[in-house]
Amino acid sequence: MAHHINKSGYTHLVNRLNRFPQGAPPSILLDKILGMLFSETEARLVSLLPIKPFTADKAAKIWKMSLLKARKILDQLASRAILVDIDQKGTTQYALPPPMAGFFEFSMMRVRHDIDQKVLSELFYQYLNVEEDFIKDLFTVGDTQLGRVFVHEPVLSNDNAIHVLDYERASQVIKTASHMGISTCYCRHKMYHIGKACDRPMDICMTFNTSGRSLIKYGHARAVGVAEGLDLLAQAYESNLVQFGENVRDRVNFICNCCGCCCEAMIAARRFSIFNPIHTSNFIPKINSDSCTGCGKCITICPVEAMTLVSANDSEKPKKKKARLNEDICLGCGLCVRACVEGSLELKSLPQRVITPLNGAHRAVIMAIERGKLQHLIFDNKVLFSHRALAAVLGVILQLPPVKQIMASEQVKSRYLEALISYMEGSDTI
């Protein structure tokens, strides 16, 4: 009976996690991971929490316990970075982040002694890098993805710089964040425990704003100012790391400094390149074939193997090579431009800009529509849905292209939503 109860608690938690637009496919490995991060009681309680941010009072009502006891449990979970606590005008709200980017990474973003991080790393590696279902679902389902690439700012020409918007610059994210925390890189930390880590900087994972504040508060990140943040960004540039951050324009919550060998995003970009698992920058490298010597430095530095060497078709030098770019899988990061000592590479703007969601709510709605999970976002039956929250979700839906509006309407089977969409299409306000 005890075994059945334990299994049921974690099963409910898995079901809860899969109400996110990006979930976690059930697996024996996932059960083992959750068993290390949550007690059975915690798994059962967390499985009851709403998707939307909530207060301790709401959690207490859901859990049918006193406010004092509920707050103690929530704060304890937040101290282990299972939950993120958010200060909203003097009121503390809590949110359960998705597994990635979320509590999977948080569990490895500092050296801890309360869990065996070597065992946990091995489980993560098997679940994410061997079993693959989780990473494939995370990065290849839908058109809108979790993260995007920031262009390598040191190689921007004066002409290019004019076309780079503030939200496309990692440096600007650092300069404008309300909080910035530095943590151990989850990916390289995980690879370290299984003997596969590279020698790139470890303490260089960046979190910002509400996520940064919460991680700093509980010691999972070290608070830094703008000057040190920019110094660390320069260190990432010198180490030829790709800046992969949250796919939003406003209040970015994370930027990872990724290597091709350890980082999940770059590994996914190589494995599932045909699905475009990562949103690119708004640039693409252009090769000057006349000056390219075929040295291969751009091939070595590319984290997603978008560069290759091919014959230069030089009859006088039959062994001569030159670089060739596979534009379909290129991230537009610009590392290859930095590596080219011959000046044979330059960044060119894409003919059509990559669209970036405004904020986390905007991205969540679009991802939920594309993944068939909008009903979970709107009709969260764990707490009463306020009119203001519903209005916010519908406001995002009504700004979507018509095809995605139809998808949203079909998912929620809502006559009200259909009528609202029809009304707005006939008005001048959209």
pLDDT at site 430: 37
- CB count within 10 Å of CB 107 equals 25
Q: How much is the pLDDT for 2?
A: 39
Sorting pLDDT into bands at 50, 70 and 90, what band is 352? confident
The pLDDT confidence band at residue 416, using thresholds 50, 70 and 90, is low
82-99 mean pLDDT: 89
Read off the pLDDT of each residue in 260-265 and give the average, rounded to a whole number. 90
**Which position has the higher pLDDT, 325 or 276?**
325
Q: Which of 4-18, 115-129, 150-164, 380-394 has the lowest mean pLDDT?
A: 380-394
Q: What is the pLDDT of residue 30?
A: 95
Question: Token digits for 4?
Answer: 């059945």
% pLDDT > 90, the chain:
59
Share of the chain above pLDDT 70, in %: 92
Reading the block at residue 106, the tokens are: 């948080």
Each residue's pLDDT tens digit, 224-261: 999 999 999 999 999 999 999 999 999 999 999 999 99
- Per DSSP (E only), the strands in 203-326 are 203-208, 222-223, 242-246, 254-258, 283-287, 307-311, 321-325
For 293-316, what is the mean pLDDT? 91
Mean pLDDT of 262-273: 87
Please tell me the distance from the alpha carbon of residue 393 to that of residue 297, in angstroms, as a whole number. Answer: 47
Higher-confidence residue of 396 and 204: namely 204
Run of H or E including 347: strand 345-349
The three-state DSSP-derived secondary structure of 125-148 is HHHHHHCCHHHHHHHHCCCCCCEE
pLDDT, one tens digit per residue, over 13-36 is 999 998 888 889 999 999 999 999
Take residue 351 and report the two structure tokens written for it.
């003919």
Domains contained in the chain, CATH given: 2-101 (1.10.10.10), 133-275 (no CATH), 283-349 (3.30.70.20), 360-425 (no CATH)
Q: Once rounded to an integer, what is the mean pLDDT over residues 297-315? A: 92
- The pLDDT tens digits for 155-168 are 998 888 888 889 99
- Closest by CA to 331, choosing from 279, 402, 275, 393, is 279
> Are residues 306 and 329 in contact, defined by beta-carbon separation less than 8 angstroms?
yes
pLDDT of 4 over the 60 cut: no
Q: Which two tokens stand for residue 157?
A: 């020409």
pLDDT of residue 387 exceeding 90: no
For position 195, what pLDDT does the model report? 95
Contact of 412 with 375, CB cutoff 8 Å: yes
pLDDT at 5: 40
* Phi (first) and psi of residue 91, to 5 degrees: -105, 130
| 43 DSSP 8-state letter | H
Element (H, E) at 411: helix 402-412
Residue 130 φ then ψ, to 5°: -105, -55
